[in-house]
Every structure is written in C-alpha cells, then in structure tokens.
Structure 1
Amino acid sequence: MLTTQYLTTIIEELQQTTGYISEEEAEKLVDGMINSTKIFLAGAGRSGFMAKSFTMRMMHMGLDAYVVGETVTPNLEKEDLLIIASGSGETKSLVSMAQRAKDIGALVASVTISPESTIGKLSDITVKLPGSPKDKEQSKYKTIQPMASLFEQTLLLFFDAVILRFMKKKELKSSTMFSRHANLE
C-alpha cells in the first residue's frame, strides 16, 4: 500500500468513529466546561499531547485552562473541572489525579476508550471514544493503525469539535480568539 492509500484508510477510519460518540456525553462535557471556574487537563503520552492542544484552544477562548504538571498550573479547587484523556483509563498517575480531584470536590471528566475503567468510574462525566486498546484482540474497532493511534486522532478531532460547540453556546467568534494567540514567536 502507498502512503496516500494509508492516509485514505486512516481518514475513513476516523470518519467511522463519529457514529460511536454519544452526543449526550459530549454535551455534558461542554456544559461542565461552561460551569467551571478553572479547567485542568491531564493525559499521558500522545493522549497528553492532544490534551495540551485542547488546553491551548481553551486559552484562546479566554478560559482559565491549565495542563496538570506545568510549572504555571495553579491549585485545583471545588468549582473546577479536571478532564483526563486516557485510552485505558488505568494509567496509575492519572488514576491518582482523578482520586485527588474527587477528594477535593472538583468535577472529574474522562475521555476514554474504557468508561468501565478506574478513571471512568471515578468520573462525573465520561465520554467514550472508539479506539483500539493496547490489546487489539479485545477491540471491536478494526484499524490498520498501530497501538492507540485511532483513539488519539479521534481525541484531537473530538476536542476540536467540543471547542466549536462551546463557541456556539457562548457565541464566541474565531476573530476574538486570535487576539489571545501568541505574539512573541
């Protein structure tokens, strides 16, 4: 197979993922963002990179959004939201964060392949995304891609869709977001 054929197949796989995402779950996440004072994002590996991208867009919208573990991240409080991106929902460091956030009384949301996971069970809001877990034999989603690539790509696109829905609900314009874009580059 040629590179462009792989790309076509990947895009077809991504197009199929939209039918597996619950609009109700997605709407709960958007409402959680609207009703929170500060929003914190966490993820490990490539899922963490997607979470960082989402955090950047929230900053562009004027939200107080932070990546857990960065030196400029403030403390989590009761009226805040922690969003965890984790395919497995079992990453030890993320499980600890979810438990700590629950102990503080903050809202916890997870975006995961596995809502029945430890993080999924700790979450107030859970959005299930399709993807192939590390053990591909256990997956009902067939993909040509290695490891959790389908989940991570879907995660990025889902987060972009959440941004668009948030913008619609808050009547935000893209032009306003540009005023918060980095200008020291």
Structure 2
Amino acid sequence: MSLADQATRAAAEIREAVAAIAPAAMSGMVDELAAARRIVCYGVGREGLMMRALAMRLYHMGLDAHVVGDMSCPPVGPGDLLLVSAGPGGFSTVDGLIGVARTAGARVACITAQPQGSASRAADRVFLIPAQTMANDKGPAATSVLPMGSLFEGAQFLAFELLVLALRDHLGEPPDAMRARHTNLE
C-alpha cells in the first residue's frame, strides 16, 4: 500500500470514528465542561498527550484547566471535574485517580472506546469514541491500518477540537479571545 493510500485509509478511519460519536455524548460533554469550576485532565502514554492538548485548548477558552502531575495542578473538590482518558477501558493509575477525585467530591468524566471498562463504570459521564485501542489491536478485531491505539488517539485529537468548537459556541467565547490567551513565550 502506498503512503498516499495509507494516509487516505487512516484519515477515513479517524473520520468514521469521530462521526460515530453520539451527538448526545458531545452535547453532554460540552455541558459537563461548561459547568465545571475547575477541570483537571489525565491520561497515560499517548492518550496523555491528547489530554494535555485538550487541557491547553480549555485554557485558551478561558477555563480553569490543568493536567494531573503538573506542579501547578491544584486539588480537586466539589464543583470540579476530573477528565480522564482510558481508551482500553481502564488503567490502574486512572482508576486510582478516579477514587481520589470521588472522595474529594469532584465529578468524573471518562473518554474511552471500551464503555464496559473499570474507568467508565466509575465515571459520572462517559464520552465514547468507538475506535481501535490496544484492547482490540490483535487478531480479527484489529482492522485499522494504524498500529496499536493510534486510531483512538488520532480520533481523540479531532474529537477534542470539535468539542472545543462546540464549547466555544456554547460559552459565546470569540476566537480572538482564545487567541489572546495563547502563550507569547515561544
């Protein structure tokens, strides 16, 4: 398969995964983010990179957004949202952080491809992105041209940008205000 053919197939797979997100899940996540006093994001590995990208966009939106593990990450409590990624359904670190957030009174939202997983079952809200992850990247279940969990991670990026657009419209945040919050230390 040529590079162009691989790129076409990968882009189509990402488009199909994002197009399969339920509109109610998207609008519910917009409402959840808009209602949160503070948002703290977490994910492991490459999913963690996508969560960092989302946290940055939420900050650009003017929201109080942070990433677990950053030295400036505040504690969570009532009115806050822990937003976690667990594509394959659960990770020990994600499950542990959910327990801490719940004990502190924060709400939990989980982004996943496996809604029956431990993280999804413990969350207040689930945002399902139906895409291949490392939970189903072997044997007949593996259908993506992309390796391991790359399809889920690519779909996360696109879904998050569309989520930001919907949230921007919901909050009435003009694009120029977002741009004004972008760092000048580059």
TM-score by length of structure 1 reads 0.95
Match in the other structure for 1:111: 111
1:145 aligns with 2:146: yes
Q: Aligned-pair distance for 1:142?
A: 2.4
Q: Which runs of 5+ in 1 are unaligned?
A: none
Paired residue secondary structure (1:73)? coil
1:174 aligns with 2:175: yes
Letter of the structure 1 residue corresponding to residue 150 of structure 2: S
Paired residue secondary structure (1:136)? coil
CA deviations over 1:61-101 (Å, ceiling 9, x no partner): 11100000100101111110011011112211111001111
Match in the other structure for 1:156: 157
Paired residue secondary structure (1:33)? helix
Paired residue secondary structure (1:83)? strand
Runs of 4+ in 1 over 2 A off after TM superposition: 135-142
> 2:85, 2:140 → 1: CA distance?
18
Match in the other structure for 1:99: 99
**Matched residue pairs, number?**
185
Match in the other structure for 2:37: 37
* Same amino acid, percent of matched pairs: 29
Letter of the structure 2 residue corresponding to residue 99 of structure 1: G
Cα 1:69–1:80 shift into 2, 3 Å: same
Match in the other structure for 2:65: 65
Letter of the structure 2 residue corresponding to residue 112 of structure 1: T
CA contact (8 A) 2:21 2:130 kept: yes
> 2:133, 2:11 → 1: CA distance?
19
> 2:152, 2:111 → 1: CA distance?
10
TM-score by length of structure 2 reads 0.94
Paired residue secondary structure (1:89)? coil
